[in-house]
């Protein structure tokens, strides 16, 4: 099995290495060449009968992000718009190759199933004021004020920047529009962004409570064998050494590779299990539909940051090496994100699974030990990493509990 994986890795890297500029060109068309009507609202939300508006915000480092605001269906408009909820997406990993290239989800991840199963629709029907976040580099965001996607500098970021800039600006925007504190919901990468951002007093002050699905911060106890193999061969360093900075799985070369692998008898769902853990309730018959919208591009730096955390067991800023760390941070090692700085008064809710090979229970216990507060916890023995987003039973198993947590706070606070 591992030999087959290594062959795939070498093949992918060889194809990717043909020309970094060729990949950039392909990704540019993916990100930018779309019609004005090619929006998340138009593609997935309005057709389902839910009012949706598009918003564009600018981060302090110049990225232009897409936000969507979703209301209950027309037949339910008698329900007064409730407290705002920001949804923060994670990764999309449908087989080993996807994880190799650190592909991201975007806001569409919350609307990929029926209105009875997708959290974005469910929250809207429950009267919440739903805001859908899309981080830098994803299809539903809008580039940069001065950089092109072809520029190396455009991809010079990791989840740390998404937390400090993207999430912070999203929360600020929602507060400005609604004049109330925000409920934050994150899955996977959305949880590490949330935990890092909430250590910042200016962000925490704008958040009413946070719900974290498959939460990650420490990653040194992950059990995903294929991911650990990729870490051990330093795939992240290989990619950067080859001059690849953008990771775009939707380039023609890589899409064709995935199609050929999954059509040649290779069980991509089985590979998914070896990365995310066994997902008890994931509807694998919808994988083809998911691929219509996922995955979205990410950066090689983001992949490297995650691999650093797995190797070192830290929840820290990006490690540039001793000399660069001294110049940037004034110290040999990158500063840690201190979870104890998340206010004790800020309510947290976390749902985690016994079969999750990425958000390991031991690592979650490490996270909990460093928090000042005691989050409400929901443990599901049979759930893997993707079940928390795409389980056919997620509404009854998870979302109803989370909504009850939010409702326990009554009306949202004004700032």
Q: Show which residues are catalytic.
A: 188, 356, 385
- Nearest C-alpha neighbor of 138 from the set 109, 179, 174: 109
Cα separation, 397 vs 400, whole angstroms: 7
Residue 152 phi/psi, 5-degree rounding, is: -55, -40
- Which strand (E) or helix (H) includes residue 350? strand 348-353
For residues 166 and 193, the answer to whether their CB atoms sit within 8 Å is: yes
User: How would you class 3 by CB atoms within 10 Å of its CB: exposed for 0-12, middle for 13-18, buried for 19 or more?
Assistant: exposed
Residue linked to tokens 């691999």:
307
| Residues in a beta bridge with 282 | 391
DSSP 8-state class, residue 42: I
Contacts of 105 (CB under 8 A, 6+ apart): 89, 90, 91, 92, 187, 189, 294, 295, 296
Residue 257 CA to residue 46 CA, distance in Å, equals: 33
Closest CA to 275 of 210, 326, 227, 219: 227
Q: Angle CA(292)–CA(144)–CA(199) in degrees, nearest 5?
A: 90
Q: Is 210 left (phi over 0), alpha (psi -120 to 50) or beta?
A: beta
Q: In sequence order, which ranges of 279-386 are alpha helices (DSSP H)?
A: 287-290, 300-312, 322-329, 361-370
């Amino acid at each position: 099995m591992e030999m087959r994986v290594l062959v795939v890795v070498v093949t992918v890297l060889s194809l990717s290495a043909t020309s970094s500029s060729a990949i950039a060109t392909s990704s540019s068309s993916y990100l930018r060449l779309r019609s004005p009507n090619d929006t998340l609202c138009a593609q997935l939300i309005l057709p389902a009968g839910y009012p949706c508006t598009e918003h564009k915000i600018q981060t302090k480092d110049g990225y232009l992000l897409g936000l969507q605001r979703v209301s209950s269906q027309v037949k339910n408009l008698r329900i007064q718009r409730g407290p705002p909820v920001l949804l923060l997406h994670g990764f999309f990993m449908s087989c080993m190759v996807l994880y190799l290239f650190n592909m991201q989800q975007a806001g569409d991840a919350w609307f990929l199933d029926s209105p009875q199963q997708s959290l974005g629709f469910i929250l809207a029907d429950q009267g919440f004021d739903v805001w859908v976040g899309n981080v830098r580099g994803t299809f539903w965001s809008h580039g940069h004020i001065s950089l092109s996607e072809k520029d190396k500098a455009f991809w010079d970021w990791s989840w740390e920047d998404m937390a400090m800039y993207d999430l912070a600006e999203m929360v600020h925007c929602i507060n400005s529009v609604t004049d109330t504190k925000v409920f934050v919901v994150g899955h996977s990468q959305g949880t590490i962004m949330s935990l890092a951002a909430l250590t910042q007093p200016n962000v925490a002050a704008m958040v009413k409570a946070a719900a974290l699905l498959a939460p990650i911060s420490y990653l040194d106890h992950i059990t995903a064998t294929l991911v650990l193999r990729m870490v051990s061969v330093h795939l992240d360093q290989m990619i950067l050494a080859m001059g690849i900075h953008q990771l775009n799985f939707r380039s023609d070369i890589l899409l064709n590779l995935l199609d050929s692998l999954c059509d040649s008898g290779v069980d991509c769902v089985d590979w998914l299990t070896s990365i995310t853990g066994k997902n008890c309730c994931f509807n694998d018959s919808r994988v083809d539909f998911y691929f219509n919208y996922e995955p979205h591009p990410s950066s090689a730096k983001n992949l490297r940051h995650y691999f650093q955390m797995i190797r070192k067991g830290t929840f820290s800023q990006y490690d540039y090496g001793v000399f660069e760390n001294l110049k940037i941070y004034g110290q040999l090692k990158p500063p840690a994100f201190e979870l104890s700085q998340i206010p004790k008064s800020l309510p947290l809710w976390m749902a985690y699974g016994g079969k999750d090979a990425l958000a390991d229970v031991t690592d979650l216990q490490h996270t909990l030990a460093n928090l000042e507060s005691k989050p409400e916890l929901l443990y599901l023995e049979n759930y893997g990493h993707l079940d928390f987003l795409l389980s056919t039973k997620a509404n009854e198993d998870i979302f109803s509990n989370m909504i009850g947590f939010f409702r326990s706070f009554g009306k949202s606070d004004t700032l």
